[in-house]
């Protein structure tokens, strides 16, 4: 016996050790910046033409930045592997050393230079205002932007600049292509974005109703970013020097832009400024505000979802067959397609469809988010409700009916109360899922809890602290929800209720006896 349990523990220990080793080796394989010697993993956000974009035919990346870094690689004897990621994920990825460098039309700023190192400036740029041609008379420069609706790309200098204008309503998108699309669709009044990118989009893209107005708002320099104290910094700088000297830089420049490249300083002027320190407590109120928005989003969606779900469930158990089929189709569609796709279809697809048939329709974000979440959860709730009702024994219907009860009465007094108790656990699950799924609407720029976190990371680059705080707030919300549901379950438990009544009777009769 003793021997056996010793063996058992030894075996467990051995297995755990093997598991640990596996995790460690997998981890070092996944996180080491360069798995092979001489390979440089370079992060980029490829929706920023002409600096970085998908090559025609979807084969790899192309653009000024891509050509430039390839040339740097050749010069420095390094093999370059590009890795696409969101723009606001680049600096966190550099911090965690998942990538070795980033080239992404990234402006050298003093805030960024606190967390990453920049190589010498490689491009002179600036922010421009874009408006729809029809509004050109009205918005001519920075001062005309007050109280306007402005679209920007997340984590960019354009987003920071837009925040300085008083009274503006800012709409944040994952990249500048989406922001410009929003302008062209007429949902915002202006876009603040890097001038060369906006100009290129107008010229090459489908944006014939958009124009750049006024003067450049800023003078900025793009730099290649590397993790702090990276051994590659010097190699990249030397290679850039070489490319500038030999005229290779000019060649690449003229492949993508007209005219002569600007003279580049050795250090970006922005690095001469001072910056504020990071403090999580200062950010907490914004996160809590985001949490409140999340709660409201959940409440509205569950409310409408329940109405929809009840109707669907009733339809699916009704004797009228076509109703049943329709609700089946609905449920299969909304359960069988990703919520994210549904959100996109509703927010971007529906208005454009309606516009095509001549209706001037555009969604407010909150309405779009609630619509998408309610439509989706109605499908799940319908199944929970139907399942609950159908789980009640047929005999109960018969008994109620033999007592002369009609359908509604039977449902109300006999079936539903019992079914509801059985529905509670899956309803609780659905509610908790809903709280978490609201984070998906961040993608349409709706500022709920997760989006607020993202926006903060985009300006402070403290990914770990901020996302951990966001996660804790979600955990708190789901914890409360699960407590409320177990409390409900307990309360509605007839056995417990009967016991309570019985004990109440006993005490009251013993009180009577005593008096």
State the residues that interact with ligand ARG by CB under 6 A. 45, 48, 52, 87, 104-107, 156-157, 175, 194
The tokens describing 37, both together, are 């010697």
d(CA 416, CA 270): 67
Q: How far is the CB of 109 from ligand ARG (least distance, A)?
A: 7
Cβ closest to ligand ARG, residue 150 vs residue 291: 150
Cβ closest to ligand ARG, residue 55 vs residue 506: 55
Q: How far is the CB of 105 from ligand ARG (least distance, A)?
A: 4
Cβ closest to ligand ARG, residue 104 vs residue 306: 104
Cβ closest to ligand ARG, residue 33 vs residue 105: 105
The tokens describing 51, both together, are 């600096």
Q: How far is the CB of 243 from ligand ARG (least distance, A)?
A: 21
Q: How far is the CB of 197 from ligand ARG (least distance, A)?
A: 7
d(CA 243, CA 478): 55
Q: How far is the CB of 449 from ligand ARG (least distance, A)?
A: 24
First to last CA, the chain: 63
Its sign, for the CA torsion 222, 227, 229, 232, is: negative
Q: How far is the CB of 90 from ligand ARG (least distance, A)?
A: 8
Cβ closest to ligand ARG, residue 221 vs residue 363: 221
Q: How far is CA 457 from the centre of its chain?
A: 12
The tokens describing 331, both together, are 């449920």
Cβ closest to ligand ARG, residue 114 vs residue 147: 114
Cβ closest to ligand ARG, residue 87 vs residue 380: 87
Q: Is the peptide bond before 134 cis (omega within 30 degrees of 0)?
A: no
Name the region of 187 (left: φ>0; alpha: ψ -120 to 50; beta: rest).
alpha
Q: How far is the CB of 106 from ligand ARG (least distance, A)?
A: 4
d(CA 200, CA 486): 57
d(CA 57, CA 255): 20
Cβ closest to ligand ARG, residue 449 vs residue 457: 457
d(CA 474, CA 438): 11
The tokens describing 77, both together, are 């004897």
- Cα separations in angstroms, 231 against 210, 228, 291: 44, 9, 41
Q: How far is the CB of 234 from ligand ARG (least distance, A)?
A: 23
Indicate the burial class of 430 (C-beta count within 10 angstroms; 0-12, 13-18, 19 or more). Answer: buried
Q: How far is the CB of 44 from ligand ARG (least distance, A)?
A: 6
Residue number with the shortest CB distance to ligand ARG? 48
Sheet holding 149-153, edge to edge: 169-173, 149-153, 190-194, 127-132, 210-213
Cβ closest to ligand ARG, residue 52 vs residue 67: 52
């Amino acid at each position: 016996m003793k021997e056996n349990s010793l063996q058992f523990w030894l075996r467990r220990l051995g297995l755990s050790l093997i598991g640990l080793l596996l995790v460690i080796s997998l981890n070092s394989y996944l996180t080491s910046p360069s798995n092979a010697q001489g390979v440089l993993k370079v992060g980029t956000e490829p929706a920023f033409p002409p600096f970085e974009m998908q090559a025609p035919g979807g084969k790899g990346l192309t653009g000024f930045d891509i050509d430039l870094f390839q040339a740097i690689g050749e010069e420095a004897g390094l093999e370059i592997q590009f890795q696409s990621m969101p723009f606001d994920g680049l600096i966190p990825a550099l911090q965690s050393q998942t990538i070795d460098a980033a080239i992404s039309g990234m402006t050298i700023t003093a805030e960024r230079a606190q967390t990453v190192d920049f190589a010498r400036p490689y491009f002179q740029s600036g922010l421009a205002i874009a408006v729809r041609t029809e509004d050109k008379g009205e918005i001519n420069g920075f001062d005309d932007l007050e109280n306007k609706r402005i679209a920007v790309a997340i984590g960019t200098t354009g987003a920071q600049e837009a925040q300085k204008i008083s009274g503006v309503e800012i709409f944040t998108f994952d990249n500048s292509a989406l922001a410009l699309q929003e302008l062209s669709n007429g949902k915002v009044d202006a876009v603040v974005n890097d001038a060369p990118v906006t100009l290129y989009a107008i010229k090459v893209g489908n944006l014939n109703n958009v124009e750049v107005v006024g003067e450049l708002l800023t003078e900025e320099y793009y730099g290649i970013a590397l993790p702090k104290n990276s051994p590659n910094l010097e190699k990249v700088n030397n290679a850039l020097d070489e490319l500038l000297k030999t005229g290779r830089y000019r060649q690449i420049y003229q492949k993508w832009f007209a005219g002569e490249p600007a003279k580049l300083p050795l250090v970006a002027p922005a690095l001469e400024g001072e910056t504020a320190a990071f403090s999580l407590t200062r950010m907490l109120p914004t996160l809590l505000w985001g949490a409140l928005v999340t709660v409201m989003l959940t409440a509205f969606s569950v409310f409408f979802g329940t109405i929809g779900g009840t109707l669907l469930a009733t339809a699916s158990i009704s004797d009228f067959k076509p109703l049943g089929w329709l609700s089946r189709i609905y449920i299969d569609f909304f359960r069988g397609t990703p919520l994210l796709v549904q959100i996109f279809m509703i927010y971007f697809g529906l208005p454009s469809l309606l516009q095509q048939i001549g209706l001037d329709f555009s969604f407010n974000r909150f309405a779009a988010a609630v619509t998408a979440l309610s439509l989706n959860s109605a499908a799940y709730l319908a199944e929970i409700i139907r399942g609950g009702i159908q789980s009640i024994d047929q005999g109960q219907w018969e008994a109620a009916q033999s007592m002369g009860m009609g359908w509604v009465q039977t449902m109300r007094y006999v079936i539903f109360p019992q079914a509801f108790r059985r529905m509670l656990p899956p309803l609780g699950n659905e509610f908790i899922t809903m709280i978490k799924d609201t984070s998906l609407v961040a993608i349409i720029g709706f500022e709920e809890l997760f989006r607020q976190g993202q926006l903060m990371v985009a300006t402070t680059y403290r990914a770990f602290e901020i996302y951990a705080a966001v996660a804790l707030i979600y955990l708190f919300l789901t914890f409360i929800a699960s407590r409320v549901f177990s409390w409900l379950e307990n309360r509605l438990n007839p056995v417990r209720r009967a016991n309570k009544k019985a004990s109440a009777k006993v005490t009251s009769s013993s009180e009577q006896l005593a008096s």
